[in-house]
Structure 1
């Protein structure tokens, strides 16, 4: 009985040893790796005004080149706004040209008539002054009458001078401040036209770079609210490898350095160029089940992969200086 118990104990110890060996020995045989995943940052494209989607040129999952057409939202409202802004520019330019011309011939003729009338009045006042002066010298008129005649002559001469000055200003054109005000109106109207043209082009955006169409939210014929994403793009340059480095190993990494990584079903020899190193530490995210760094402080690092991969793929990153097998 004792031998049987001893045999059972020995068998249990052997089983525990075998299990431990199966779990521990492989860990010594493989190098440490840093756990990470592929992250994508999509671009959401929308139109600045509400309208019907007149055309949709892409489908979900399609690859598009830089400058490719994506969709068109009904441009009628934007076209009307652009035409109105263009009309305002034309009106402001006409006013600026008119300000530089000065008075028109008919208006100048009126000013010339005012000068003639003022000169005739001045001649009458001078004649009256000479007559009253002669009478006053002989004692046939009072000094008060002489003073009144002199004042009337001076006033008539001032009126002639004012009329001639008004004619000179009209001939030379509008004042400088009026011209500046007209030019400012032109600049304001041109700015409005530029904004209207930009909003019109926003109704039919183009792909800014090579990308994949991640999703299409509105199809042709559907009504899309203003500033509501109509589709999302995933540009190649916005796909990143994100992995976490223990605090003790952070000094080996720098922006611009290259790391190697692997993933299930991926080609061999994949690399990523480090573009960002987080300045703040964090605890290992719960979705990352690192073999060595679990429950330790780590730093997030992002890099641009050498190949197109799908967001969400888990990857194993080779620590710098430790080659993968």
Structure 2
């Protein structure tokens, strides 16, 4: 073989070696990783009204179950308000029942008697008026006497008309508009009772779900203002990893993508799934991948941790992204 042939073979071997090396490097290139923090849903309970703490049933770090009482505020004022609303409701119901039942027999009889008395008064004053009129013509009585008799007769007639109207009102019963007003009054009073019951209930704080008491800065006897945070809980039902995903990886990492979580001290990763990726970019954290990636947009991403894993809240770990 001449020298030219040997040179060609050598160059071919060299190129083959270079290409093989590059392919080997590409195959052994590590998957990119981002740092994340283990988090749990935070539950914050605040004071509905300004009041005094009268009991605290838990301590920081304690595990609580859904529905468990955590602490209570003084219910004295709320109990008084609830009693007032109950009384107003009872009064409104009694008024409605009275209107629905209509007038009693005794009330109608009393109105009939008043009408009969008014009718008798009219007859008497009418006779007195006629006598006064005849005596005035004979000059026995004066014009003033006649005027008084006339006024007495007119007053008696007016009182008879009033008695007649009162009797008619009782006999005709309650008007539809009055019943509607009374019904509306009952509904309004019932709504007020419901509000008072809710305000009373809000004085006893209970856990909405299984959780761990994270912060409890108050003590029995402390007076707190309305809206003050009384206790903070960390839910135990679900833990997740929150990471900042570079924008360049949005086409590879989607909701449902399987990723690996690397925890310090463990030889094997934890298989996890991407649950949510924010649609709007967030500020880039200082611990982003590297200086180049810090200048890029980052998207806040939540990754669900399997329920079989019990990782501490706040733990830092690495998330291996798929190639």
Change in CA separation of 1:190 and 1:234 when aligned onto 2, cut-off 3 Å? same
Give the drift of 1:121. Answer: 9.2
Secondary structure of the residue that 1:83 maps to in structure 2?
A: helix
Q: What CA deviation, in whole Å up to 9, does each residue of 1:143-195 have, x standing for no partner? A: xxxxxxxxxxxxxxxx9999777645423521111111111111111111111
1:309 matched residue in structure 2: 311
Q: Aligned partners of 1:168 and 1:265: how far apart in 2?
A: 95
1:21 matched residue in structure 2: none
The answer to whether the 8 A contact 1:237-1:304 is kept is no
The answer to whether the 8 A contact 1:241-1:272 is kept is no
TM-score (norm 1): 0.69
1:58 matched residue in structure 2: 58
1:98 matched residue in structure 2: 98
Structure 2 regions of 5+ residues with no counterpart? 1-24, 125-158
Q: Aligned partners of 1:219 and 1:48: how far apart in 2?
A: 17
1:143-182 to structure 2, matched below 5 A, reads: 167-182=167-182
Q: Aligned partners of 2:214 and 2:205: how far apart in 1?
A: 16
Count of equivalent residues: 268
Secondary structure of the residue that 1:236 maps to in structure 2?
A: strand
Give the drift of 1:215. Answer: 0.8
Q: Aligned partners of 1:166 and 1:257: how far apart in 2?
A: 83
The answer to whether the 8 A contact 2:34-2:289 is kept is no
Query: Quick check: 56-65 or 289-298, which moved more?
Result: 289-298
Residue 290 of structure 2 is aligned to residue 319 of structure 1: no
1:78 matched residue in structure 2: 78
Secondary structure of the residue that 1:44 maps to in structure 2?
A: strand
Change in CA separation of 1:115 and 1:243 when aligned onto 2, cut-off 3 Å? same
Give the drift of 1:55. Answer: 1.6
Q: Aligned partners of 2:244 and 2:47: how far apart in 1?
A: 38
Give the drift of 1:252. Answer: 3.2
Give the drift of 1:289. Answer: 4.2
Q: Aligned partners of 1:215 and 1:283: how far apart in 2?
A: 28
2:49 matched residue in structure 1: 49
1:212 matched residue in structure 2: 212
TM-score (norm 2): 0.69
Structure 1 regions of 5+ residues with no counterpart? 1-24, 125-158
1:183 matched residue in structure 2: 183
Secondary structure of the residue that 1:279 maps to in structure 2?
A: coil
Query: Quick check: 193-202 or 101-110, which moved more?
Result: 101-110
